[in-house]
Structure 1
Amino acid sequence: MYARPAGHAAPFSDVPDRLAPRPVTAPPPSPAQAVAFGRPASTVGGFADGRPTPPPRPAPPPPAEALVRAFGPAAGGRRGLQEPPAGRPGRRRTATGPWWKPDARQDPWRDPYAPAVLGPPAVYDEAAQPGPVVFDAQGRRKLRLRDLSVRLWVLGLLAVLLVGAVGGGAGWYLTKTNDETPLLAPGTQLSEVDPGITREPGSVSEIAQNVMPAVVSIEVRVGQAGATGSGVVIDGENGYIVTNNHVVSGAEGIEGAEIRAVFFDGSGSAARIVGRDPASDIAVLKVEKPGLVTAALGSSDDVVVGDPVVAIGSPLGLAGTVTSGIVSALERPVRLAGEGSDTNAVISAVQTDAPINPGNSGGALVDASGALIGINTAIASTGAGGSIGLGFAIPVDTMRDIAEQLISTGSAVHASLGVNTRSVTDGTRDGALVLNVEPGSAAAAAGIREEDVVIAVEGEAVGSSEELVVAVDAHDPGETVTVEVVRGGASTEVEATLDAA
C-alpha cells in the first residue's frame, strides 16, 4: 500500500508542488467595464502625480524637568514612592502631607509593593488603654464617659449637689422674706362690660318668654301620695286650664284629694275638675284667679314634619322647663294607658324629638310663632322612664274639640264602630282582625263579622287596630262611612253608621 510505484526512482519531492501559487489569469474586461473603470485616453501616469507633498512633522519637545523628576523612573537601587520635590521627608506631619513621615517607606499601607497578609487581631492593654481609641475628623481623641476616673465622677457629683443646694436655699430665702398679699381686698369692684347679646325674632328664648306665663304646674295630692304634671291656660278670663286626664284622674271622687295650679309668678290656686275624657286623655280644670295669660291656639293643619317646636312644662317637678326640637312625624297612632288611671285612648299624635319627661304631661308644645300645636302626653321609653328623643302630643285641633265639649257638658262623645280588634298581617298587607262584634253596634248592623279583617275606612288604609280607632274617631257619631274588609280571601265594602260612645 505504501511501496514506491514501479518505475519511479526519484524522490517524491521532485513532484511539482500542488499547493504553490498559481498565476492569475483573468478574462479580458468587457467593453462596458473598460468604459466604466478604464483609464481615460488623455491620462498618462498615476492619478496622484502633481499633488503637494506635506511637510514632515516636527519632533515633540522634551518633557519638563519637573515632570521627569516626578514621573520618571526611580534611581538605581530604589523602589516605591519617590521623595517629594524638596528631596527629603517633611519635618512635621500636616493634613496636606501625611505621606512623608520618617517611617513612610516602612509603612506597608504606603508601600505599593508590600504583600497583602492577614495579621493577628488587635490586642489592647486593658490596664493602660481599655478598648480602641476613637479620634474625630480633626485627629483629636474623643473622650468617653468610661474613660473618666472615679475622682472626676465624684467631683462632678459634688458640683451638681452644691449648685442644687445653693439654688434651693436662695429660692427658699426669697419666698420667705417676700411679704404675702392680703386675702381680702375691701371695696373691690369687678369691671363691667357690655356683652352685646342679640336675640333674633322667633328664637327659643323669645318663644319661652311669651308662652311660659300661660303654662302652669299641676300638683295633685291624695292622702300622703302626690303627683305633678303640667297644664295650659286656654281661657284666662274664666280660668279654664287643659291638662291630661291621667294627671288628675287619681283625684276624681276621692275625699280629701287636692288639686292645685301653680302659676308662672309662683302664686297658686286650688283647681276643680270641669270634665275628663279617658278616651282622648284630655281633662279641663277651673281655677278662681282672674287675669290669667291665655295661650294662643294654632292649627293642626299648618304643622308639617321638620317644623321647629318648643316644649314647656314641669318635668320631674321642675317648673318652667323649656326644651326644643322638631316635629319628627305626624298622625302617629299611639295607645295611651297608665297605671292608676282610667285612661284608655288611642290618639293620632304629633311626634317630636324635643326632650319630654314625666311631669311634662299636659304641658304645651308650641311652634316657632309661639302658637299651641299640641298637648304633651306621652313618651317612648326603653324602661328607664326617661326621654329617648321620642315624645307624643295630642294635636291642638283634637284638644280644642274635646275641651269645648267638656266645658259645655262636662263630657265628650266619640264615634264608635262597635268592634274589638287586634293588628294582623299576611306578609303583604296589614289590617285589623275583628275578634268580636258588639250586639246592636254599627258593625253588627253593617254585617261585619268575626274573623273579618278591616283594611280601610272611607278609602284611608288601616294597618293596625290603633289605626282603626283613629280612623273611626276622625268622624262624628251618626255619620255613615264605607268600611272595606277582607273575608274569605276576597275584599268587600260595607256601609256603617257610626254610634256614639
Structure 2
Amino acid sequence: MSEQPRTSAQGHDPEQSAAFRRPEGVEGSFDPRGRDTPPQQGFEYTPPPPEALEKAFSRPPGSSEVLQRAPGDREPSEQASPDEDLFWSHSGDRDPWRNPTAEAVVGAPALAREGSEQHREPVPGPLLSTREVLFGRRVRPRALAALAAVALLVSVVGGFIGRITAEEGNPLTNPDVTLAKVEPGVDRPSGTVAAVASRILPSVVSVEVRLGAQGGTGSGVVIDGNGYIVTNNHVISMAVGTPDAQVFTVFSDGTRVPARIVGRDPQTDLAVLKVEVANPTVAQLGSSADLAVGDKVIAVGSPLGLESTVTSGIVSSTHRPMRLAGEGTDTNAVIDAIQTDAAINPGNSGGALVDGNGAVVGINSAIRTLGTDGQGGSIGLGFAIPIDQVRRVAEQLIRTGQVRHPELGVNAKSVTDGTVSGAQVQNVQQGSAAEAAGIAEGDVIIKVGDRQVNSANELVVAVHKHRLGTTVPITVVRGGRELVLDAELR
C-alpha cells in the first residue's frame, strides 16, 4: 500500500497548517499590525504599491483608521455580547449592504422638477444665410457677387463654344433644315394605275373554298348584275361533288357571302359562281383581240390571300399556247394565253387582267416559276385566259351549265425538222371530223384556218377558236408535200 500523508490529531495536514495558519499572536481575521512590522519567520507580505498609487489612495498622514476593524478593536460601547456574531448583527440579514441574499429594489427614476432648465423648450436661433452655409463668415458679400458673375460668364462662354463644336463636329446634320411639302390634291388622269384600280377593285372578289380541314383561295370577277362571277375551275374544283363543301366570296368592302357553282369547264379552266347580292359592281369586259405586245396592263386579285392586291406591267406576248394541269384538280386545259410581266402569284387565279382603260381583257390563270411543284413566286411570267374566250364560255355556262367545244378528232405530238414545225398526227378517231376530211396518221398539221400551228398545244387552241359546225381548211404535210383538207368541226 502507498504511504498516506500524516495528519495531526485534529485531522489537519501539518504542511497546509503551516502555509495557511494565522500568525502567532493573531486571533481574528485581520492582522491589526502595520506593514512596518517585520514578518514572522515563514510569512511574506506583498510588495509595496507604486508611489503614484500610494499617494492617490493612502490614508492621510497620522491616521490609524483601517477599512475594517478587527473584533477586538471595537469601542467599549460597541462591544458585542458573547452570543453576538462578530460579523453579523441581528439586523444584518435585513441590511442590503451586508446581506448578499437581499433583493434589489428599483426606485423611481430621477426626474427633474417642473420648471427646471432641463424641461425648457429650445428657442430657435436665427436662420443662416447662403453665404454662411457655404463659406461661413469668411467671404465678403462683394467677393461672393464677383464669384457669381464669373460663374455666369464661364457658363455662357462654354455653351457658345459647345454649340459651335457640335455643329462643326458633325457636318452631316443641320438643325436649321425644314423639308418642303407639295400642295395637296394630286391630279390622277383616267389612264393611271390608281385611277384604273379604283374602278376595277369593287368588281373583283376573293373566293374561299372550305372542305373540312382543307381549303383554298383564289379570285373572281363580277361579270353580270345578277350576281354571276367568273373564276378558274381549279379554284373551286375541290368543292364539286362534296355535300359539305362551302364556297364564299369576299368583296372589296369586306362583305362576305356564300356562293353556288353554276357550271365549270375543265377544258378551258373556267367556272361561273352565283351570289345573292343586290346591285353588285360589274366589271367592264374589253376585247383581247385588240391587245398588242407592250400594252400596259394591271393584275387585280388576292395573291396569297391578300385581298384587293394590284400589280402592273405590260403585255409580254399574245396567243401563247399554255397547257394547264394541276394536282388535286381535274383541269386539263390548253389556253391561248396572254403573257404578262405583271406580278401574279398563287391566289391571283380567277382575278382580272385589265387594260389601261379599266376594261377586263383576261382572267389570270397561271404562272411560270423556278420553284418546285409550282410553289415558287412570280418571276414575271404570268398567263391569262383571253376575255374573248372567257365571254363565250361564261355565256354557255350561265345558259346551260355546260360547254361544248369543237374537236378535230386527232391525237398529235409536236415535231420539227429544223425548218418547219407542226403537230404530227398519232391516230385518228373514228367518226371524227379529221376522218371525214381525209387526215391520215403521220400527217403533220402546220395550219388551221389562217393560224399557223407549231406544236400540239397550238393545234388545240387553233381548233377551239372556231365554233361548232364550222368548216375549216386544214393544211398538212404528207410525203414532203403540202395538202389543204377541209374539215367540219364537230
User: What is the TM-score with the length of structure 2 in the denominator?
Assistant: 0.62
In the alignment, which residue of structure 1 is the partner of 2:479? 488
In the alignment, which residue of structure 1 is the partner of 2:423? 432
One-letter amino acid of the structure 2 residue matched with residue 222 of structure 1: L
In the alignment, which residue of structure 1 is the partner of 2:433? 442
CA distance in 2, matches of 1:201, 1:481: 42
Alignment of 1:16-35 (within 5 A): none
Q: Deviations over 1:123-177 (max 9, x none)?
A: xxxxxxxxxxxxxxxxxxxxxxxxxxxxxxxxxxxxxxxxxxxxxxx99xx9xxx
Greater mean alpha carbon deviation, residues 225-234 or residues 447-456: 447-456
- Does the aligned pair in 1 maintain the 2:190–2:357 contact within 8 Å? no
In the alignment, which residue of structure 1 is the partner of 2:213? 224
Alignment of 1:48-447 (within 5 A): 194-236=183-225, 238-383=226-371, 384-447=375-438
Classify the secondary structure of the residue corresponding to 1:200: coil
CA distance in 1, matches of 2:424, 2:269: 25
Q: 1:476 aligned to 2:467?
A: yes
- Does the aligned pair in 1 maintain the 2:263–2:402 contact within 8 Å? yes
Classify the secondary structure of the residue corresponding to 2:194: helix
CA distance in 2, matches of 1:474, 1:440: 21
Q: Deviations over 1:237-286 (max 9, x none)?
A: x1100000110111101121000000111011100000001111110000
Classify the secondary structure of the residue corresponding to 1:213: helix
In the alignment, which residue of structure 2 is the partner of 1:461? 452
Q: Deviations over 1:448-472 (max 9, x none)?
A: 1211111111243211001111111
CA distance in 2, matches of 1:459, 1:397: 18
Measured after TM superposition, the shift of residue 486 of structure 1 is 1.5
The alpha-carbon distance between structure 1 residues 239 and 196, as it changes in their structure 2 partners (threshold 3 A), is: closer
Classify the secondary structure of the residue corresponding to 2:223: strand
In the alignment, which residue of structure 2 is the partner of 1:73? none
Larger radius of gyration: 2
CA distance in 2, matches of 1:434, 1:363: 36
Q: Deviations over 1:385-412 (max 9, x none)?
A: 2111011111111111100000000011
Measured after TM superposition, the shift of residue 200 of structure 1 is 2.8
CA distance in 1, matches of 2:454, 2:182: 61
- Does the aligned pair in 1 maintain the 2:250–2:257 contact within 8 Å? yes
CA distance in 2, matches of 1:234, 1:458: 31
One-letter amino acid of the structure 1 residue matched with residue 207 of structure 2: I
One-letter amino acid of the structure 2 residue matched with residue 321 of structure 1: T
Classify the secondary structure of the residue corresponding to 2:236: helix
Q: Which runs of 5+ in 2 are unaligned?
A: 1-157, 163-179
CA distance in 2, matches of 1:215, 1:459: 35
CA distance in 2, matches of 1:196, 1:223: 49
- Does the aligned pair in 1 maintain the 2:339–2:383 contact within 8 Å? yes
CA distance in 2, matches of 1:353, 1:291: 34
Q: Which runs of 5+ in 1 are unaligned?
A: 1-169, 175-190
What is the total number of aligned residue pairs between the two structures? 313
One-letter amino acid of the structure 2 residue matched with residue 353 of structure 1: D
CA distance in 1, matches of 2:280, 2:321: 34
Classify the secondary structure of the residue corresponding to 1:415: coil
Classify the secondary structure of the residue corresponding to 1:400: helix
One-letter amino acid of the structure 1 residue matched with residue 350 of structure 2: G
CA distance in 2, matches of 1:192, 1:375: 41
One-letter amino acid of the structure 1 residue matched with residue 406 of structure 2: A
Classify the secondary structure of the residue corresponding to 1:472: helix
Measured after TM superposition, the shift of residue 192 of structure 1 is 9.9
CA distance in 1, matches of 2:322, 2:338: 10
One-letter amino acid of the structure 2 residue matched with residue 370 of structure 1: G
Taking only the aligned residue pairs, the percentage that are identical comes to 61
Measured after TM superposition, the shift of residue 193 of structure 1 is 8.1
Q: Deviations over 1:359-400 (max 9, x none)?
A: 000001111111111100111112252111011111111111
Measured after TM superposition, the shift of residue 302 of structure 1 is 2.4
User: What is the TM-score with the length of structure 1 in the denominator?
Assistant: 0.60
Measured after TM superposition, the shift of residue 435 of structure 1 is 1.2
CA distance in 2, matches of 1:278, 1:373: 21
CA distance in 2, matches of 1:198, 1:440: 63
CA distance in 2, matches of 1:350, 1:452: 29
The alpha-carbon distance between structure 1 residues 302 and 490, as it changes in their structure 2 partners (threshold 3 A), is: closer
- Does the aligned pair in 1 maintain the 2:203–2:222 contact within 8 Å? yes
CA distance in 2, matches of 1:497, 1:344: 24
CA RMSD, Structure 1 to Structure 2 (Å): 2.0
CA distance in 2, matches of 1:380, 1:354: 12
Displaced runs of 4 or more, over 3 A: 191-198
Q: Deviations over 1:331-374 (max 9, x none)?
A: 11111111111111111111111000000000011111111111
CA distance in 2, matches of 1:340, 1:226: 12
CA distance in 1, matches of 2:443, 2:295: 39
One-letter amino acid of the structure 2 residue matched with residue 290 of structure 1: A
Measured after TM superposition, the shift of residue 211 of structure 1 is 0.6
CA distance in 2, matches of 1:366, 1:463: 29
